[in-house]
């Protein structure tokens, strides 16, 4: 009865979707089957936190992911909050139960050889081809964010000093150096831009009519170009930022330096890329070592 009244509460008072209600009902039934197997005399009002932790461990042993276990625990949390509200129980047995921690996914990145293949390919002579290839190169060779690239003004790009002034999150500014190869690309882009637009431009990177790029356009051009060299599910500007960081660390750049270039507040944020490079090393080891 408790389970049924809870599900009616979700349906009529909380307006939960039918799918969610069915899902919560299934989770509660599975939990009930578990604690009845532990002790037939138990009911929902008599279980304690140890029983819930035992169920959590059994789910992990069965191969459930941390996300799936946490979702099931979420159903229990809602259920016991309801029982407390209805004065059916005097204490919440799940209040001090912590779900399993989710593994942080490793950043997706493009290998250096694939990026070399893409950037070494000559763009077409038209303005958009030159611009698109230059955008890809700037992302990969400076590690800037999509919003930072869109926000670049002509005065932010110092070709004589080979450096870009970037305005990042919370309006924090940083200077990013770049090499002669990118300088040549930028000069070629500016020359192509002059042919199509002689007036003042809204931004450094523009469309033919001189207006600034917008996020969906940048995403599409990056996705299309990356599709030429990789089959990754993610093919976004942020993947190029990950690729920049991974390439820097693979080539022995210091973690603190990469942090400054990326504009991270904390070194902890940058450290995720060290895991990526370690995974790459592991693959190389497994492929190359005869006893791997």
Which candidate in 3, 71, 81, 145 is catalytic? 145
Give me the residue label for tokens 């999150």: 169
Q: Which of 193, 207, 241, 242 is catalytic?
A: 241
* Integer CA distances (angstroms), 245 to 25, 159, 168, 178, 216, in order: 45, 23, 16, 14, 23
The residue from 85, 169, 228, 283 that is catalytic is 169
Based on the residue annotation, tell me whether 198 is a catalytic residue of this protein.
no
Long-range contacts of 30-34 (CB under 8 A, 24+ apart): 30/72, 31/55, 31/72, 31/76, 32/3, 34/58
N-to-C CA span, the chain:
57
Catalytic-labelled residue, pool 273, 275, 289, 291: 273
Query: For residue 35, what are its two tokens?
Result: 């604690």
Enter the tokens of residue 211. 């207006």
Is residue 214 among the annotated active site residues? no
Q: Compute the distance between CA of residue 235 and CA of residue 108 in angstroms, rounded to an integer.
A: 9
Active-site annotation holds for 235: no
The closest of 101, 109, 147, 138 to 273, measured between CA atoms, is 109
Task: Based on the residue annotation, tell me whether 238 is a catalytic residue of this protein.
Answer: yes
Active site residues: 145, 169, 238, 241, 264, 273
């Amino acid at each position: 009865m408790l389970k049924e009244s809870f599900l009616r509460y979700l349906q009529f008072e909380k307006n939960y979707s039918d799918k969610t209600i069915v899902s919560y009902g299934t989770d509660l039934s599975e939990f009930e089957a578990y604690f009845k197997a532990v002790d037939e005399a138990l009911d929902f009002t008599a279980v304690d936190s140890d029983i819930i932790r035992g169920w959590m461990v059994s789910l992990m042993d069965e191969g459930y992911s941390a996300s799936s276990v946490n979702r099931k625990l979420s159903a229990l949390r809602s259920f016991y909050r309801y029982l407390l509200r209805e004065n059916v129980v005097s204490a919440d047995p799940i209040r001090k139960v912590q779900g399993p921690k989710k593994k942080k996914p490793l950043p997706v990145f493009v290998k250096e050889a694939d990026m070399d293949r893409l950037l070494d390919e000559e763009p077409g002579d038209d303005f958009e081809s030159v611009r698109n290839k230059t955008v890809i190169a700037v992302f990969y060779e400076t590690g800037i964010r999509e919003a930072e690239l869109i926000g670049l003004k002509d005065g932010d790009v110092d070709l004589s000093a080979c450096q870009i002034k970037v305005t990042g999150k919370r309006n924090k500014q940083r200077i990013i150096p770049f090499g002669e190869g990118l300088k040549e690309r930028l000069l070629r882009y500016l020359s192509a831009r002059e042919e199509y637009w002689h007036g003042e431009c809204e931004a450094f990177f523009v469309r033919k009519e001189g207006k600034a790029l917008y996020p969906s356009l940048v995403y599409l051009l990056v996705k299309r170009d990356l599709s030429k060299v990789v089959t990754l599910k993610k093919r976004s500007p942020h993947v190029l930022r990950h690729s920049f960081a991974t390439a820097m660390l693979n080539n022995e750049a210091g973690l603190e330096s990469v942090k400054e270039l990326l504009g991270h507040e904390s070194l902890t944020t940058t450290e995720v890329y060290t895991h990526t490079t370690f995974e790459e090393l592991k693959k190389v080891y497994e492929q190359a070592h005869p006893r791997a």
